[in-house]
Amino acid sequence: MLGQATGKSIYELLGGKVREKIRAYNTCAGTAYAKGSSNIDRNRSAQIGTPGDGDYEDLVAFLNEPERLVSSLKAQGFTAMKIWPFDEAAMRSGGQTIDKKDLAEGVSIMQRARQAAGNDFDIMLEMHSLWSSPAATVIARAVEDLDLFWIEDALRHESTDALIRFKNSHRIPVTTGETTGTRWDYLRLFKSGAVDHIMLDPGWVGGITEARHVISLASTFGIPVAPHDCTGPVVLTVGTHLGVSHPTVELQEMVRAYYYGWYQEMVTELPLYENGFITPPTGPGLGTKLQPGINTRSDAIVRWSRVGK
């Protein structure tokens, strides 16, 4: 509301830009990802769903043709991607152990991706909090020599001691935090010494103000921040505003299957992605609005929250 009233963008209200753009990485979901799966159900058929007609079925690509995926991302200017080849193995074991065949399959995908990417392209391994600390350690040690940018959400971070044990069991940088709320829980993670990078989702953490507090807190521990995407075009836009206005922010996550797909059906303007970097809109507030008439769509669910009578 303040942005609309003053005519200033969010990044201006946050103190102005420290950079013109922020490096973006692609999370390799496909067009149907998250429509039929969740962090409870990670089987591949549910994650892949029914692929659409678009060009960006990146989940299918990383499982079957990681070389083609890397080539496609590089052609668009991306210099980093995130993939998750071990999720279905967790479905078979409950995440407590990993079968040697499943381990070999996932490691092979990671190796093929690294060989195709070369040394000038960052790869993140997402694990969706599905694993026990011992099983996650087995996986981490198996991919330890692939120069990963980070290993993300290997186990549920609520167990601080388990996270510390995991961190100390391998050499890969660790990140977590996208489903964490408020600066106080982030403070626990920072003080544990078990994280090298932190993610925050502006929607989960408590909005723009709380996100700013967490970013400032992270800076006192020397921990870089990477805002989360996958939860919609508004969250992506907020993260991009935070990224250009805070020097501690290192990366912005995006999903090109969503960015060039349903995100454009939801809002009037998106942050500009160009050659590996993303830039926030310049209009008042977020610089974007919901598409006119979106609340009357046949597939829209409308809820109202009112304060007082």
> What percent of the chain has a predicted confidence (pLDDT) above 90?
80
Strand runs (DSSP E) across the chain, as ranges? 22-27, 80-83, 122-126, 150-152, 174-176, 197-200, 225-227, 252-254, 272-274, 277-279
305 belongs to a structural domain: no
Burial 179-196 (b: 16+ CB within 10 A, else e): bbbebebbeebbeeebbb
**CA 139 remoteness from chain centre:** 20
Task: Give 287's pLDDT tier (boundaries 50, 70, 90).
Answer: very high
pLDDT in tens, 223-244: 999 999 988 999 999 999 999 9
Is pLDDT at 107 greater than 80 in this prediction?
yes
- This prediction has a pTM of 0.93
Task: Give 299's pLDDT tier (boundaries 50, 70, 90).
Answer: confident
Is pLDDT at 38 greater than 80 in this prediction?
no
Only one residue has tokens 């807190």, namely 217
- Between the CA of residue 187 and those of 37, 86, 108, 228, 258, what are the distances in Å? 31, 29, 36, 18, 32
Position 52 scores a pLDDT of 64
Task: Give 54's pLDDT tier (boundaries 50, 70, 90).
Answer: low
Position 44 scores a pLDDT of 64
Query: Letter for the amino acid at 121?
Result: F
Arithmetic mean of pLDDT, 57-62 = 93
307 belongs to a structural domain: no
Arithmetic mean of pLDDT, 247-252 = 97
Strands 272-274 and 277-279: antiparallel
Could you tell me where the DSSP H helices lie in 118-230? Answer: 133-142, 160-167, 182-192, 202-205, 207-220
Nearest in space to 57 (alpha carbons), one of 24, 25, 28: 28
303 belongs to a structural domain: no
Could you tell me where the DSSP H helices lie in 221-266? Answer: 233-245, 256-259, 263-266
Is pLDDT at 271 greater than 70 in this prediction?
yes
308 belongs to a structural domain: no
Print the domain residue range for 147: 7-288
Task: Give 307's pLDDT tier (boundaries 50, 70, 90).
Answer: confident
Residue 93 sits in a domain whose CATH number is: 3.20.20.120
**Long-range Cβ contacts of 115-121 (<8 Å, 24+ apart):** 115/67, 116/66, 116/67, 116/70, 116/71, 117/70, 119/147, 120/79, 121/70, 121/74, 121/79, 121/80, 121/81
Nearest in space to 121 (alpha carbons), one of 90, 82, 95: 82
Q: Which two tokens stand for residue 263?
A: 């995100």
Domain count, the chain: 1
154 belongs to a structural domain: yes
Arithmetic mean of pLDDT, 16-24 = 97
116 belongs to a structural domain: yes
230 belongs to a structural domain: yes
58 belongs to a structural domain: yes
